[in-house]
């Protein structure tokens, strides 16, 4: 298709091969961008443009959508978002695992995992209303778009005086009111993290009643499930039940199977998810690593295996070291060492690579980084997830085609979260575009050098603004706040 107006384009991506994010085979085409939108796709040899990106031999794809992030605070404190832009990510979904930056009062304590968001206990950065958070993001945009969810754990902090019990009816009602406020402000869903202590005592019924307002709105229910180990099947069933009660899409966050006793069980969970999908709307995401990362736990079972300290405010000198070594040095148990290092986050080597590949390759799985911004030794997924799927899992291991890889990080994700006019290369869509070299794209972040930018990401365009080009951030901050399709 050519452009009828004949006006020059703001950006012309010339000579590239388009993988459009629908999963369909690639095709050669020029892409013209004007006024923040994809204006034309096709043979644009004659067209004029302010900026032309010669892209012969390169792939032109929709900007990647990170389906699972904890970038809520980073969007404000580190608005260039280089750790995402450098991977080709143009949109982040925030508010996962039950934790969001809003709504929260500044005087309230922020126990783990709430403090994982990086807005430390002393930070003035809290928002009493969800609308205030989105308003700040609109006034001072980051370099990537944001689609934000509200977290059930955060709502518990906001409404309950003690977290080690189910919410009382009046507390449930108060949380439900905050969900209504968040949805009206533009939240795209609610997340839970019943795996974590502050929400572990919330029964299924509490979750359903708090999330009730999302029914029929198109907002999603995303969950870091209660149990990803022995009880994984029960937790999947609980999540399905909640989704049915709410008549909402369930997003199973970072699907994985924890602990040696559960290795191989993706052979059970994936067919279970596939079967449930026949009766209800389900989605799932996965990061391409066999190690997880989250708060440093203080219970024996969750400290089993190899544990690396990722971030630690009290003892920065122990960041990057093994918990076992620290315990030995202090002549205490690992549990005691973990207690003394609080608050901290850690990396846990607790998954089977075979499960990771199975889950990633599963037809319906989206790519999501679950990256935790901040600190000097974060899990490498923060800087490496998307190029690693493209280069390592698709190209080098042949786990799936490049078209499938791109779809898992763009079109599929936009569809699951209801992000209108994003996630595919189509005329009239927002011009979120990445140009990359399929032959060289690869993650460079490792557990030792976790903040090394990926290679092979040539150019990243966000809402028509060239934001990353040949390894350099342009300083452009054109990210938008994305709200739900069909929101009244
Ligand atoms: Zn999580
Ligand atoms: Cu998460």
In CATH, what number is assigned to the domain containing residue 440?
Answer: 2.30.40.10
- Pair 78, 54 in one domain: no
CA angle 200, 157, 258 (to 5 degrees): 30
CA angle 231, 333, 371 (to 5 degrees): 55
- pTM of this prediction exceeds 0.85: yes
For residue 251, report the distance from its CA to the centre of ligand 1, in Å: 12
Q: Is the pLDDT of residue 371 over 80?
A: yes
Q: What is the mean predicted confidence (pLDDT) over 68-92?
A: 97
Nearest-angstrom CA–CA distance, 482 and 463: 12
Nearest-angstrom CA–CA distance, 338 and 325: 12
- For the record, the structure tokens of 185 come out as 């402000």
- Pair 293, 388 in one domain: yes
Q: Is the pLDDT of residue 2 over 90?
A: no
Q: Does some domain include residue 109?
A: yes
- Pinpoint the alpha helices (H) of 140-203: 152-159, 169-185, 197-200
Q: What is the mean predicted confidence (pLDDT) over 212-217?
A: 96
- Pair 367, 456 in one domain: no
Q: Does some domain include residue 418?
A: yes
Res. 484 pLDDT band, cuts 50 70 90? confident
Lowest mean pLDDT among 5-14, 329-338, 390-399: 5-14
For residue 368, report the distance from its CA to the centre of ligand 2, in Å: 9
Over residues 396-438, the pLDDT tens digits come to 999 999 999 999 999 999 999 999 999 999 999 999 999 999 9
Nearest-angstrom CA–CA distance, 419 and 105: 29
Identify any residues that bridge with 12 across adjacent strands, giving them in sequence order: 32, 52
- Pair 196, 71 in one domain: yes
User: Residue 488: what pLDDT?
Assistant: 34
For residue 69, report the distance from its CA to the centre of ligand 1, in Å: 9
Q: What is the mean predicted confidence (pLDDT) over 111-125?
A: 76
User: Residue 6: what pLDDT?
Assistant: 77
For residue 296, report the distance from its CA to the centre of ligand 1, in Å: 13
Q: Does some domain include residue 429?
A: no
Nearest-angstrom CA–CA distance, 136 and 195: 30
Of 402, 488, 484, 399, nearest to 441 by C-alpha is: 402
- Pair 464, 323 in one domain: no
Q: Phi/psi of residue 83, each to 5°?
A: -65, -20
- Pair 43, 67 in one domain: no
For residue 360, report the distance from its CA to the centre of ligand 2, in Å: 16
- Pair 246, 168 in one domain: yes
- Pair 318, 461 in one domain: no
CATH (domain of 127): 3.20.20.140
Q: Does some domain include residue 2?
A: no
Q: How far is CA 472 from CA 80, 213, 237, 295, 467, in A?
A: 11, 43, 46, 32, 8
Q: Does some domain include residue 364?
A: yes
Q: What is the largest CA-CA distance in the chain?
A: 74
Res. 487 pLDDT band, cuts 50 70 90? very low
For residue 324, report the distance from its CA to the centre of ligand 2, in Å: 25
For residue 127, report the distance from its CA to the centre of ligand 2, in Å: 20
Q: Does some domain include residue 431?
A: no
- Pair 153, 170 in one domain: yes
Nearest-angstrom CA–CA distance, 341 and 307: 13
For residue 194, report the distance from its CA to the centre of ligand 1, in Å: 10
Q: Does some domain include residue 116?
A: yes
Of 34, 72, 71, nearest to 51 by C-alpha is: 34
- Pair 116, 222 in one domain: yes
- Pair 210, 69 in one domain: yes
- The region, left, alpha or beta by phi > 0 then psi within -120 to 50, assigned to residue 402 is alpha
Name, in order, each residue with C-beta under 8 angstroms of 183's C-beta and a sequence gap of 6 or more. Answer: 213, 214, 217, 219, 484
Nearest-angstrom CA–CA distance, 442 and 457: 9
SS3 467: strand
Nearest-angstrom CA–CA distance, 320 and 369: 20
Of 379, 427, 477, nearest to 2 by C-alpha is: 427
Res. 125 pLDDT band, cuts 50 70 90? confident
Ligand nearest to the CA of 256: 1
Of 17, 23, 61, nearest to 401 by C-alpha is: 23
Q: Is the pLDDT of residue 4 over 80?
A: no
Q: What is the mean predicted confidence (pLDDT) over 27-32?
A: 98
Nearest-angstrom CA–CA distance, 68 and 75: 14
Q: Does some domain include residue 303?
A: yes
Res. 189 pLDDT band, cuts 50 70 90? very high
**Count of CB atoms situated within 10 Å of the CB of 124:** 6
Q: Which domain holds residue 21?
A: 9-61+436-473
For residue 340, report the distance from its CA to the centre of ligand 1, in Å: 23
Q: Is the pLDDT of residue 100 over 70?
A: yes
Nearest-angstrom CA–CA distance, 386 and 357: 15
Over residues 244-260, the pLDDT tens digits come to 999 999 999 999 999 99
Nearest-angstrom CA–CA distance, 242 and 260: 29
**Number of domains present in the structure of the chain:** 2
For residue 70, report the distance from its CA to the centre of ligand 2, in Å: 6
- Pair 229, 261 in one domain: yes
* Average pLDDT, rounded, for the chain: 95
User: Residue 313: what pLDDT?
Assistant: 87
């Amino acid at each position: 298709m050519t452009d009828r107006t004949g006006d020059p384009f703001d950006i012309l991506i010339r000579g590239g091969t388009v993988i459009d994010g629908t999963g369909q085979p690639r095709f050669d085409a020029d892409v013209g961008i004007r006024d923040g939108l994809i204006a034309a796709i096709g043979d644009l040899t004659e067209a004029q443009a302010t900026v032309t990106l010669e892209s012969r031999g390169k792939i032109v794809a929709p900007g990647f959508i990170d389906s699972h992030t904890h970038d809520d605070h980073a969007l404000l404190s580190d608005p260039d978002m280089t750790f995402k832009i450098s991977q080709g990510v143009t949109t982040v979904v925030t508010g996962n695992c039950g934790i969001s930056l809003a709504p929260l009062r500044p005087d309230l304590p922020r126990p783990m995992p709430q403090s994982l968001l990086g807005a430390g206990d002393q930070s003035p950065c809290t928002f009493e209303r969800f609308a205030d958070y989105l308003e700040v993001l609109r006034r001072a945009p980051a370099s990537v778009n944001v689609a934000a969810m509200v977290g059930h754990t955060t709502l518990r902090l906001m409404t309950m005086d003690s977290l080690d019990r189910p919410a009382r009816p009046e507390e449930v009602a108060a949380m439900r009111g905050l969900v209504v406020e968040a949805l009206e402000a533009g939240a795209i869903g609610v997340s839970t993290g019943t795996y974590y202590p502050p929400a572990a005592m919330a029964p299924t019924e509490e979750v359903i009643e708090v999330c009730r307002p999302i029914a029929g709105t198109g907002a999603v229910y995303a969950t870091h499930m209660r149990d990803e180990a022995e009880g994984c099947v029960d937790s999947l069933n609980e999540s399905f039940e909640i989704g049915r009660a709410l008549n909402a899409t369930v997003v199973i966050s970072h699907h994985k199977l924890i602990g040696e006793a559960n290795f191989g069980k993706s052979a059970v969970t994936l067919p279970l998810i596939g079967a449930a999908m026949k009766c209800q709307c389900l989605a799932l995401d996965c990061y391409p690593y066999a190690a997880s990362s989250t708060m440093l736990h203080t219970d024996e079972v969750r400290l089993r295996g190899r544990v690396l300290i990722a971030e630690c405010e009290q003892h920065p000198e122990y960041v990057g070291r093994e918990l076992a070594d620290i315990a030995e040095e202090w002549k205490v148990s690992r549990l005691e060492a973990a207690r003394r290092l609080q608050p901290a986050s850690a990396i846990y080597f607790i998954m089977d690579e075979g499960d990771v590949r199975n889950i990633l390759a599963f037809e319906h799985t989206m790519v999501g980084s679950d990256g935790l911004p901040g600190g000097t030794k974060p899990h490498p997924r923060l800087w490496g997830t998307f190029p690693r799927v493209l280069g390592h899992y698709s190209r080098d291991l042949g786990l799936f085609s490049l078209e499938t890889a791109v779809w898992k990080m763009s079109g599929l994700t936009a569809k699951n979260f209801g992000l209108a006019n994003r996630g595919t290369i189509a005329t009239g869509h927002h011009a979120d575009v990445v140009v990359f070299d399929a032959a060289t794209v690869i993650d460079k972040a490792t557990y030792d050098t976790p903040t090394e930018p990926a290679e092979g990401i040539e150019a990243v365009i966000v809402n028509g603004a060239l934001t990353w080009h040949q390894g350099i951030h342009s300083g452009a901050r054109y990210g938008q706040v994305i709200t739900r399709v069909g929101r009244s």
